[in-house]
Amino acid sequence: MQIGIWVPRGGRMDMNGRGFKEEPAGTASFAYSVEVIKQAEKYGFDITLVAQRYIGHDIDGWVLASALAPLTTSIELMVAIHPGIVTPGVVAKMGASLDQISNGRFAINLVNGWWPEEMNTYGNGAWLDRNDARYQRMEEFIDVVKGLWLEEKLDYNGVYFKVDGGVLPAKPLRKPTPPFFAASRSDTGKNIIASKCECWFALVQPWFREYEANFKVISDGITEMSQRAEGFGRKLGFGISAAVICSPDGKEAEAIADELEQRSKDRSQGGTSISALGAGLVGSPERIAERIKQYEAAGVTCLMLRFPHMLDGVKQFGREIMPLLGRG
């Protein structure tokens, strides 16, 4: 199992009703991100997710990942990509470049788009109202990126992307290609991921005290997606995004999680960070390690973690939980 971490974008992150509230980005924020990721490498974290938020104070995800590449040595850099905002040809070129710079440590987190304002502002009116249209564009996007990486010359005639004799001399070091990670709840999206991506992020239901029920939802999802992938003659990896809150006896951690969830009240307004508590990684180091092992046994291959305070959380996880996973 890969143990991963979200790249922090601010010095301290407090969860509110819409998720983690972060400090404005800037020089101090970048320095903090570097410190956290270096600590993550020190303690054996395998991968980091560099989110892309176009509307906000955040440093651009591609720029941040490129800046982190020469400052790190082992951690994999997964960059979030929005089909429709960046063209697949440009992503293929930038991805191959970042893969070379990082010595094969590049991966893609495919974000199909959910915010019309963001897609229209930064994608020149790229928002598509129809769900099936967005998925068709995503599938074509994958085809073109992988085609340019794998083929010496690409001809592609899609609805949203067309390539006539396209060439990309700069190929990624990673073979056959850097991996694609993606999430989807729809049948169409799941089939695209099962047939063309390398890892599916499972849905994490909210509320950490409902761990058993939430674990079953995740486990059932892994079983379903494994069967879909087998139907395409493929094997698929499985990821979950989880918030971790740890204290020696678990009581303080549960009290913090209860307070954070209470702020969200309405489940539909909890945001991804609050929902991530539903993975149940709240409590003592022993409980958290036990549940991580249960996820691994269920088929989870990538655990993407975040903490209320990222630097302290990484250090605590590295010192107290990694050894319980046989990785200290």
Q: What is the torsion angle, in degrees rounded to the nearest 10, for the CA atoms of residue 321, residue 324, residue 325 and residue 328?
A: 80
Residue 174 has pLDDT above 90, yes or no: yes
- pTM of the shown model: 0.92
pLDDT tens digits for range 253-264: 999 999 989 887
**Confidence category of residue 11, pLDDT binned at 50, 70, 90:** very low
The domains of the chain are located at 2-325
pLDDT tens digits for range 133-173: 999 999 999 999 999 999 999 999 999 999 999 999 999 99
Q: What is the torsion angle, in degrees rounded to the nearest 10, for the CA atoms of residue 7, residue 10, residue 13 and residue 19?
A: -70
pLDDT at 266 (0 to 100): 52
pLDDT at 15 (0 to 100): 43
Residue 13 has pLDDT above 50, yes or no: no
Residue 268 has pLDDT above 90, yes or no: no
**Confidence category of residue 27, pLDDT binned at 50, 70, 90:** low
Residue 12 has pLDDT above 50, yes or no: no
pLDDT tens digits for range 42-99: 999 999 999 998 987 788 999 999 999 999 999 999 999 999 999 999 999 999 999 9
Average pLDDT value over all residues in the chain: 92
C-alpha–C-alpha distance, residues 181 and 27, integer Å: 29
Pair 85, 134: CB distance under 8 Å: no
Domain 2-325: what homologous superfamily? Luciferase-like domain (3.20.20.30)
C-alpha–C-alpha distance, residues 230 and 243, integer Å: 30
